[in-house]
Amino acid sequence: MGILKEKDREKLINVFKDIEKDVKIVMFTQEMECPRCEMTRLMLEEVSGLSDKLSLEVHDFVAEADLAKKYGVDKIPATVLLGDMDYGIRFYGVPAGYEFNVLIEDIMDVGKRNPGLSKEVMTELAKVDRPVHMQVLISPT
């Protein structure tokens, strides 16, 4: 039995039909996998198998430290979403529970090469000319 329930698998196959361009998922774990690293890897293996537009690369955080550094990954499990470029999307920990929605939505945004923001917001964001560090604190309720 896989991690995804049959109902969710069907839902995802349907949602992924709207992906227009390839999405590469890069995941960092390590040889001696922590339980959450294993959960994340198994979940991503299943998710990436649901569309031919999705691919998954699994890397070893310790053995491939240079690659991890290249992506700015400093902890595991880490999930990186890539399209034509690196948009800076990173998930640390297992994107499970409610965050699973967010992971799928981000995969869709990358797959459509469209973050779903309005033209005005995109115009304003294009004016940002230096690195900005943003932290958003949220409550799930």
Min. distance of Cβ 57 from another protein in angstroms?
A: 21
CB of 89 to another protein, least distance (A): 17
**Minimal distance, residue 47 CB to another protein, in Å:** 9
Footprint of another protein on residues 102-121 (CB under 8 A)? Answer: 102, 104-105, 114, 116-120
CB of 42 to another protein, least distance (A): 6
Say if strands 86-92 and 78-82 run parallel, antiparallel, or are unpaired.
antiparallel
Distance CA 84, CA 10 (A): 27
**Is 133 in a helix, a strand, or coil?**
coil
Q: Of residues 5-64, which lie at the interface with another protein (CB under 8 A)?
A: 5, 8, 11-12, 15, 35, 39, 42-43
Q: What does the alpha-carbon distance between residue 48 and residue 59 come to, in Å, rounded to a whole number?
A: 15
CB-wise, 98 or 131, nearer to another protein?
A: 98
Closest Cα partner for 110 from 55, 60, 66? 55
45 and 56 in contact (C-beta within 8 Å)? yes
Residue matched to tokens 């230096």: 130
Residue ranges binding another protein (CB under 8 A): 1-5, 8, 11-12, 15, 35, 39, 42-43, 94, 96-98, 100-102, 104-105, 114, 116-120
